[in-house]
Amino acid sequence: MKIQIVGAGPAGLYFAALMKRHDASHDITIHERNPRTATWGFGVVFSDRALDFLRADDEALYQYLMPHLETWPEITIVHDFTRIPVAGNGFSSIGRLDLLTLLYAYVERLGVKIVFDTEVTSFAQLGPCDLIVGANGVSSWIRAENEAKFGTRTDWRPNKFIWYGTSKAFNSLTLTFRNTDVGVFCAHHYRYRPDRSTFLVEAEEATWKRAGFDAMSPQDTIAYCERVFAPDLEGHPVISNNSYWRNFPAIWNEHWSFDKVVLVGDALRTAHFSIGSGTRLAMEDAVALFKAFNECGADIPAALARFQALRLPPMKSIWDAANVSAHWYEQMDELVRTLSPIEFAYSYMTRTGRVDHDEVRRRDPKLAQAYERLHPELLK
């Protein structure tokens, strides 16, 4: 098959790798608008569960990536100034550019062509082919220009967030909620290299406005965040990489393909970053699309229908959890102000409804016991 992929993110790269590894006669080209060495963002995380899925699907890739990951066995919730370590939540992280560079090498060794510095703006630009994969991320024009065919729904979430980094190397994945006189700010921070951490700052819109961020320069915005999180940064700077305040779009499509065009990854659907699953979902889309072609051969309509049937149930359940998690962050002011540190950490752990009390007890008996002391009715 002749396959044209738009976007060299995790979804497009991994789909290309799986197809080419299975059948070297496929002619696959990936078009990427960025240069090989440039990307946005800092590090991304995988939960242990996400890595288990990858390992089950592709032991070779898992072994290839593992030496480059930073890992830790617990997360830490900071309720204003009280630190609550929560056991039983393993995470790994990697710089986004490191991940992409590893995947570039992986697919190029297999014989996939990647054309960098090339923005694709129309299907005509791709020429004749059997399959077009829209792997061009959250702002995909392939989706935006065909919303009626895809049945696209976009729900812009109200919180504001900005994706920074810092030179401080944090010891665990930490969610720091700081209560200030204008409202609560949350930093999602984790090390992804021995000398670098992601430092994503999030706030409710009202807090963001009271802080005056709507009229603040990039330098003053950094200085403000450094002041709010000074006890955590310990003198390390907040680092920008084209960082700007955004709102998160929760995107869903009823139909994932038309003719020979299919969406994967963030172009297909977005999952709020607070559940750390965007990269994993993108790679799982690639696995499902590959499996569909494996089952259906070169019958494109059958394979694309099979892709949606295979992938919908597991994807929908994570997408729902991500939306519930986003909603929890949208109430962070009230939660921080009304809950004690233990109750807050417990609320965080159980926020998506996928972790119940028994599961908290299994993961972190100390947290469960501390919560039971505050809520003895749980033991009745």
Sites of contact with ligand FAD (CB under 6 A): 6-12, 31-34, 44-45, 119-120, 135-137, 141, 163, 200, 265-267, 273, 276-280, 282
User: Based on CB atoms, which residue is closest to ligand FAD, 2 or 362?
Assistant: 2
User: Based on CB atoms, which residue is closest to ligand FAD, 281 or 342?
Assistant: 281
CB of 376 to ligand FAD, least distance (A): 37
User: Based on CB atoms, which residue is closest to ligand FAD, 207 or 277?
Assistant: 277
CB of 374 to ligand FAD, least distance (A): 31
CB of 365 to ligand FAD, least distance (A): 28
User: Based on CB atoms, which residue is closest to ligand FAD, 30 or 303?
Assistant: 30
User: Based on CB atoms, which residue is closest to ligand FAD, 7 or 183?
Assistant: 7
* Half-sphere CA count of 25, side-chain side, radius 13 A: 2
CB of 13 to ligand FAD, least distance (A): 7
User: Based on CB atoms, which residue is closest to ligand FAD, 6 or 107?
Assistant: 6
Per-residue H/E/C for the chain: CEEEEECCCHHHHHHHHHHHHHCCCCEEEEECCCCCCCCCCCEEEEEHHHHHHHHHHCHHHHHHHHHHCEEECCEEEEECCEEEEECCCCEEEEEHHHHHHHHHHHHHHHCCEEECCCCCCCCHHHCCCCEEEECCCCCCHHHHCCHHHHCEEEEEEEEEEEEEEECCCCCCEEEEEEEECCEEEEEEEEEEECCEEEEEEEECHHHHHHHCHHHCCHHHHHHHHHHHCHHHHCCCCEECCCCCCEEEEEEEECCCEECCEEECHHHCCCCCHHHCCHHHHHHHHHHHHHHHHHHHCCCHHHHHHHHHHHHHHHHHHHHHHHHHHHHHHCCHHHHHHHCCHHHHHHHHHCCCCCCCHHHHHHHCHHHHHHHHHHCHHHHC
CB of 6 to ligand FAD, least distance (A): 5
CB of 353 to ligand FAD, least distance (A): 21
User: Based on CB atoms, which residue is closest to ligand FAD, 85 or 137?
Assistant: 137
CB of 37 to ligand FAD, least distance (A): 12
